[in-house]
Structure 1
């Protein structure tokens, strides 16, 4: 009986990393790029000791004004793993349940599927326990201003010279 229980625990534990990878794999390439940008910024902080992985999306939205341009907003969670920061192959990393989730909101402009440098991509990630309603509102407002400040809604009114 103990051997069967040990086998079940071993097999069950092997599914946790794949669940994280599956959630990430279900994202479109444009949303994956935003998650990668947030992970890169998070892992660059000196105080971060664990490797983080994408956990789940809370909200995805985009505006396509045309001409292969898209403005993306993605609200998602990252979760700490048992692997140290800088792990080269995180596929074997298991989630930790003793650390708070990281709540991220990112928005950026893409052109032909690639993130543009202007306007500068916006990345806001904080521990979920410290996220306030004001912070959430500020994220959305910043992203709304970003998409409208580029002139995106007026792209179709441009008149060419003959």
Structure 2
């Protein structure tokens, strides 16, 4: 009976990264681009030593801004794995999650045009270990993203002229 329990537990541990990759693959292409941006910036940080994988979305907003532009806000969690930072995406599928480290709580907001993240306004990326997340930080994130998504005097259909 004890052996059977260990086998079931081992299978569950091995399936965790597969489930994370499955969750990632279910994301819309525009949302996935933001997750990729965050993971890239997180792994570029000197203090980060482990590889992180997408764990799950907490909330997301995708607003059509007109003329093919979109404003995207995505709040999600990344989970550390046992693999070292710099692991290639192909090898990341075999990286089991670590349960001895906190989740990374991330928010990204950016403007997309023609399925590409625009450089202006600069995308906002913020990640913090989940236990350190406070309501004040959540509000600061939201305020920053609101400033990115709304610009006064932006062109509208009413401002366009027919030449």
How far did residue 22 of structure 1 move? 1.1
Aligned-pair CA distance for 1:151: 4.7
Shift of 1:3: 4.8
Backbone CA RMSD of aligned residues: 1.6
**CA contact under 8 A between 1:107 and 1:121: conserved in structure 2?**
yes
The Cα offsets for residues 28-76 of structure 1, whole Å up to 9 and x where unpaired, read as 0111110111111111111111100111101100210222110000001
Q: Tell me the distance in 2 between the aligned counterparts of 1:23 and 1:155.
A: 36
Q: Take 1:135 and 1:39, find their aligned partners in 2: how far apart are those partners?
A: 20
Cα shift at 1:7: 3.4
Structure 1: gaps spanning 5 or more residues = none
| Alignment match, 2:68 | 68
Report how many aligned residue pairs link the two structures: 161
The residue aligned with 1:58 is: 58
CA-CA distance at 1:5 after TM superposition: 4.0
Q: Which runs of 5+ in 2 are unaligned?
A: none
Asked whether the equivalents of residues 119 and 150 of structure 1 are also in contact (C-alpha less than 8 Å), the reply is no
Question: Is residue 2:40 matched to residue 1:40?
Answer: yes
Contact kept? 1:65, 1:155, Cα under 8 Å = no
Which of residues 132, 136, 139 is equivalent to 1:134? 136
TM-score normalised by length of structure 1: 0.91
Cα distance change of structure 1 residues 133 and 6 upon mapping to structure 2, 3 Å threshold: closer
